[in-house]
Structure 1
Amino acid sequence: MPKEITFTAARLVRDVPAAEIRIDDALIAVSSLMASVVTARRDTDGVPATRGHATIQRLVKAQMALVDVSGDILRVHGDLVDIGRETGGYDLHECPATAEGDATPLASAA
């Protein structure tokens, strides 16, 4: 296998899971923000429920966008695995569980 394919494959093995993790992190952050906004609206005296409704709708829209992005990246991941099998002759049974580097596995985050 040519070196450029080996380097490209190694970069993808690192970058695809890293993107998946970052999207999940963004979804968690938006979800936490949603909880904070709803809690603040509920716990602040004198604020009518209608006051924060548009903000909450925007957060829901952002969450759904991230869920859509996550699904697209998962499909890209599957496509790249198929391309790797076809082009590189890889016999891939599993993708890396997590990206190397600054990613923190969920088990250690709890």
Structure 2
Amino acid sequence: MSQALTITAARLIRDVPAAEVRIDDALIAVSSLMTSVVTARRDTAGVPATRGQATIRRLMKAQMALVDVSGDILRVHGELADIGRETAGYDLHECPSIAEAGTSVRAAAA
């Protein structure tokens, strides 16, 4: 395998799981915000149930958008793994373990 291909693969091994984690972190943050908003509405005396409904709907749309993005990134991950098998002959059964084991390759990409 060429040095350029090794460096490219190392970047992808680092960047794809990192993107997946960041999307999950964003989904957790929006979910926490949703919990806080609904709790605040419920616990604030004198606030009608209809107050904040538009905000809650927007947060729900943001959650769904993040779920869609997460699915797209997972599909990209699978497609890149297929390309790696075809192009470089990688045998990628468990991408996260390969990402953890690739520290020497990652250093070359930095």
Q: What band does the TM-score fall into relative to the shorter chain?
A: 0.7 to 0.9
**Is residue 34 from structure 1 mapped to residue 34 from structure 2 by the alignment?**
yes
Cα deviations across residues 36-94 of structure 1 (Å, max 9, x unaligned)? 00000000011111111000000000000000000000000000000000001112221
Q: 1:3 to 1:70 in 2, by over 3 A?
A: same
- Which residue is equivalent to 1:65? 65
- Which residue is equivalent to 1:14? 14
Gaps of 5+ in 2: 101-110
Greater relative CO (CA pairs within 8 A, separation 6+): 2
More helix by share: 2
- The number of aligned residues is 100
C-alpha separation between the residues in 2 aligned to 1:86 and 1:98? 17
For the aligned residue pairs, the C-alpha RMSD in angstroms reads: 1.4
1:41–1:49: 8 Å Cα contact kept in structure 2?
yes
Structure 2 length normalisation: TM-score?
A: 0.87
Gaps of 5+ in 1: 101-110
SS at match of 2:6: helix
Structure 1 length normalisation: TM-score?
A: 0.87
